[in-house]
Amino acid sequence: MKIMINNKSYTVPDSFKEKRLTEYLRDELDLTGAKNACEMNACGACAVLLNNEVIKICHVLVKDAEGKKITTIEGMAKPDGTLHPLQQAFVDAGAIQCGFCTPGMVLTAHALLLKNSKPTREQIRKALQGNLCRCTGYQQIIDAVEMASEHYRKN
Amino acid sequence: MNSKAWRNDAYAKVTGKTKYTDDVKFPFMLHAVPVYSDFVHAKIINIDISEAEKSEGVVKVITAKDVPGVNRWGQIIKDFRIFAEDKIYYNGDVVAVVVAETKELALKASALIKVNAEVLPPVLDPEEAIKPDSLIIHESHGTNIINHHKVRKGNVEEGFKTSDVIIEKVFQTQFVEHAYMEPESAVCNPRADGVIEIYAGMQHPFSTRRFTSALLGVPLAEIEVLGVSVGGGFGGKDDTIAIVCSRTALAAKLTGRPVKMSYTREWSIRESYKRHPYKVFYKMGLSKDGIIKAVDTKIIADGGAYCSVTPWVTWRSTVQCCGPYVVENVNCNTYGVYTNNIVTGAMRGFGSPQMNFVIESMVEIAAEKLGIPSIEFRRKNMVRQGSTTITGQKLDNHKVAMEEVLDVMLKESDYFEKFKKCKSNISEDEVYGIGLAMSYRGMSLGAEGSDFCAAIINVQADGSILLETGIHENGQGSESAMCLILARELGVNLERIRYKRPSTSNIPDSGTTVASRGTVMGGGATVNAVKELKKKIFEFASSKFNCTPEEIEIKKDKVFSKNKSLSFEEVIKEMYDERIYPFAFGVFKAPKVTWDEETGQGIAYFSFTYGCQIVELTVSKKTGKVKLLKAFAAHDAGKVANESMTLGQFYGGMAMGTGYALHEELKIKEGKIRSLNFNSYRIPRATDMPEMKAVLVQNPDPNSPSGAKGIGEPTNELMAPAIANAIYNATGERFYKLPMKINVKKVIEVLQ
């Protein structure tokens, strides 16, 4: 079975097909940006993009992602390390504290902005309501998404 | 936003490269899991591990019998059973740890462990536990009362006698979960030299080292706790993670292999300590003209099964039991009480969110009863420059900014105009309210404990700088704050500074990163280390420049006198050439505090910070739903080191306070926690929070070398009373219990 992650094709070992996608990413590929925090679809710390749709993968089996295009936080920056404008906005807006929710937040916001490049702050809040953050009170995260939206409008 | 934010770890975090403990791997690493029993209070007869030991992949099953050192430990009272031995004291007690080749196999084996025990009646109500005839939970302690703190000031009887109005109310608050996004996780690596390395996200590496050295029966120097990125703490990554680390370290010692123990959310919520539920009996005497004449209060805090830091938490409640108000006659009795409930301990605010809910509600009740506007009432009673607190401390060593932050908030929110709109309909079924609360907060640990911190500045031969302090990064940005303070004080570019993650084998014990003390204490130590370093550089440069050290300055990476200058690199290189280390060790010892346990009098804290918050909201008459429209906060942050991160503390504190006010409550049935994950324990979401306006009031604190005040907790302790007062102003319903659940029928009745 083959799987496409961050524009790279991987052959999944049989032993991982029936396992959760988080385990495959974290244990096999060392892509640890997707976190285990609730393991029951309730917090968004494991969110990645599957064909540009946000999905919490703590309960997604590897085999169910076959043939799909997965984007993890590790695939957001350019290969030379330059941050994606949305990531840069998170940095500049002070949207990062402990950072545990950050990968899921960035990816969820990315999915929103791909669909709606001029969201209101209320729409941003709605889009992020499945991603829990205990540090920031969300204010600077929403600032960041708003700041980055301009980039999506231009492109 | 005025300027771009800066954090030293932002790039790593936003790219997902940051490694938290559960992301750390070692070759040939084993996996450990905790095993619980179904009991709440029971006498252990035996723990049968025989089947588990035979299970596939199991390397070791550890119980209390395997402990080579001391199994009972704690920061104040040594009552934590690291492994259950004599009794089950609460439902989160760990009876065994299974160590296996994989986590899956460890889990499989853990199901085979049987605990035989004789059930004892659980003591779950602290008011019952405090009675002399109650079953005693910790027999060696002799009573269920963990601690009794007092304040005895003036003559309360006389105070009430001369009062025109007396108000008596009872308030109650709930168990609250920290809900750090990263559950506990520890990785321990037994090194060839016999030292055990501990990697884990925590707030108190030095306490973790003490727990571990005790359990293993080895000296402190044989345990090295290394800094790892922490996925949130909020006071919650102290005792429990220390215990998890000590068990994991024992597993590593007994197996001779690296061991990881990563908690699930369910284990984390089941075992880790919470915010104390309080029951507060509050009696206030007032004169007709609006002066608080006397306060008599009894505070009962459910300490749960083990002491943890209950005496310290409840001490702060005691010191601050009258809020930021001058009261001549005070009688306060605070009890921390053992029960068989979940352990309670440190959580952001540390005994103040409960008391502020009480006091700031009482103040408004009193003002209304006297027919005095509540702001005017506050102005009549609040602490001012030179005021004496209820513990007899004169507030004269820093700027008392109580009225300043109040005025800033009233203006910023347009409070008085908006107050007129209270109770009016904002839509067909929503009524409007605005509410305010204010507080002062003693800075750092106060008389709770020994308060000092170290910093090491190690300038390398090429001019790059390593900074290490005894303060731990929990996510709040403490490393960044220290780097910014160093750059500012030394006069060099930020780019040349790297923060060295502290190791307990390098930096001296600097205490725990709690009590909003990180920037104050770590920043203070950094400033003092810069002074030492400058002394060395100035002395050296003055010999080169043929002038006195007093004539040397460092600015923008240049070392110069009146007419000569060299780059920072050049000076450093020459110092190395002449065998002088540009190395400095700085210490900040908190100014002296005093406390008399019997009278509750003394200089409780070396300084105070002042805060005020305002909330605008609507209440639905149909559903009772409370919707926050806007929240405002002003706090005296002293001299701010990192503006965007300071604002982050405001917003985050306000969100946590919102959860405390409106929906967070651990559901417990007969001593067993029912809300074990985020589906049933609801923390605020992006859609629960309003837009927030934060105002940084900056009066540099003369008692803090960097000028900074602590701000992490003050921002969290005012939301519940501000929301309670806003709900009252919207609906006329006064809450005495948290979280506040609106009774729709009652609201409609009151409004009609």
All structural domains of chain B, each given as residue ranges with its CATH number in brackets, are 21-121+192-264 (3.90.1170.50), 387-443+605-752 (3.30.365.10), 452-589 (3.30.365.10)
The rounded mean pLDDT for chain A is 97
Residue A84 has pLDDT above 80, yes or no: yes
Contact B5 A91 (CB under 8 A): yes
Contact A139 B691 (CB under 8 A): yes
The pTM assigned to this predicted structure is 0.98
Contact A102 B231 (CB under 8 A): no
Task: Read off the tokens for B253.
Answer: 């010692």
Q: Which residues of B touch A142 (CB under 8 A)?
A: 686
pLDDT tens sequence across B465-494: 999 999 999 999 999 999 999 999 999 999
- B531: Cα within 13 Å, side-chain hemisphere: 11
Contact B644 A140 (CB under 8 A): yes
Q: What is the ipTM of this complex?
A: 0.99
Residue B1 has pLDDT above 50, yes or no: no
**Percentage of chain B exceeding pLDDT 90:** 97
pLDDT tens sequence across B175-226: 999 999 999 999 999 999 999 999 999 999 999 999 999 999 999 999 999 9
Mean pLDDT of all residues in B131-149:
97
Q: Does B656 touch chain A (CB under 8 A)?
A: yes
Residue A27 has pLDDT above 90, yes or no: yes
CB nearest A137 (choices: B15, B25, B654):
B654
Contact A137 B644 (CB under 8 A): no
Range list of H helices, chain A: 14-17, 21-23, 85-92, 102-115, 121-127, 139-154
Contact B15 A76 (CB under 8 A): yes
The whole-number pLDDT of residue B748 equals 79
The whole-number pLDDT of residue B503 equals 97
Q: Determine the residue among A39, A120, A134 to mutate to test chain B binding: the one whose Cβ has the most chain B Cβ atoms within 10 Å.
A: A134
Q: Amino acid letter at B711?
A: I
Q: Determine the residue among A20, A59, A76, A139 to mutate to test chain B binding: the one whose Cβ has the most chain B Cβ atoms within 10 Å.
A: A139
The whole-number pLDDT of residue B326 equals 98
Residues 200 through 239 of chain B touching chain A, CB cutoff 8 Å: 229-234
Q: Does A125 touch chain B (CB under 8 A)?
A: yes
Q: For A81, which residue in chain B has the nearest alpha carbon?
A: B15
Residue B685 has pLDDT above 50, yes or no: yes
User: What is the rounded radius of gyration, in angstroms, for the C-alpha atoms of chain A?
Assistant: 15
pLDDT tens sequence across B51-61: 999 999 999 99
Mean pLDDT of all residues in B82-96:
98
Contact B647 A94 (CB under 8 A): yes
Residues 2 through 21 of chain A touching chain B, CB cutoff 8 Å: none
Q: For B2, which residue in chain A has the nearest alpha carbon?
A: A93
Q: Does A100 touch chain B (CB under 8 A)?
A: yes
Please give the Cα distance from B233 to B362 (Å, whole number): 31
pLDDT tens sequence across B698-729: 999 999 999 999 999 999 999 999 999 999 99
Residue B2 has pLDDT above 60, yes or no: no
Q: Does A151 touch chain B (CB under 8 A)?
A: no
Q: Determine the residue among B29, B107, B181, B630 to mutate to test chain A binding: the one whose Cβ has the most chain A Cβ atoms within 10 Å.
A: B181
Task: Tally A–B CB contacts below 8 A.
Answer: 189
The whole-number pLDDT of residue B3 equals 64
Q: Which residues of B touch A83 (CB under 8 A)?
A: 11, 14-15
CB B408 within 8 A of CB B697: yes
Mean pLDDT of all residues in B413-435:
96
Contact A73 B15 (CB under 8 A): yes
Q: Which residues of A touch B10 (CB under 8 A)?
A: 90-91, 96
Min Cα distance A109 → chain B (Å) is 12
What is the distance in angstroms between the CA of the first residue and the CA of the last residue of chain B? 44
Mean pLDDT of all residues in B1-6:
70
Q: Could you tell me which residues come within 8 angstroms of residue B54 by beta carbon, excluding any fewer than 6 positions away? A: none
In three-state secondary structure terms, B524 is helix
Q: List, in order of start, the domains of chain A with CATH numbers.
A: 2-72 (3.10.20.30), 85-154 (1.10.150.120)
Q: Using pLDDT thresholds of 50, 70 and 90, give the confidence band for residue B345.
A: very high
pLDDT tens sequence across B361-383: 999 999 999 999 999 999 999 99
Contact A125 B234 (CB under 8 A): no
Q: Does B629 touch chain A (CB under 8 A)?
A: no
Mean pLDDT of all residues in B608-616:
98
Q: For B629, which residue in chain A has the nearest alpha carbon?
A: A122
Q: Does B29 touch chain A (CB under 8 A)?
A: no
Contact A37 B181 (CB under 8 A): yes
Please give the Cα distance from B730 to B226 (Å, whole number): 51
Q: How many CB atoms lie within 10 A of CB A132?
A: 25
Burial category of B150 from C-beta neighbours within 10 Å (exposed 0-12, middle 13-18, buried 19 and up): middle
The whole-number pLDDT of residue B740 equals 97
Mean pLDDT of all residues in B520-526:
97
Q: Does A54 touch chain B (CB under 8 A)?
A: no
Q: A82 vs A85, B602, B706, CA distance in Å?
A: 9, 56, 35
Q: Does B181 touch chain A (CB under 8 A)?
A: yes
Q: Which residues of A touch B684 (CB under 8 A)?
A: 137
Q: Does B476 touch chain A (CB under 8 A)?
A: yes
Min Cα distance B643 → chain A (Å) is 9
Q: B88 vs A134, B36, B45, B211, B538, CA distance in Å?
A: 32, 10, 11, 20, 62
Q: Could you tell me which residues come within 8 angstroms of residue B743 by beta carbon, excluding any fewer than 6 positions away? A: B624, B733
Residue B752 has pLDDT above 80, yes or no: no
Burial category of B565 from C-beta neighbours within 10 Å (exposed 0-12, middle 13-18, buried 19 and up): middle
Please give the Cα distance from B502 to B685 (Å, whole number): 33
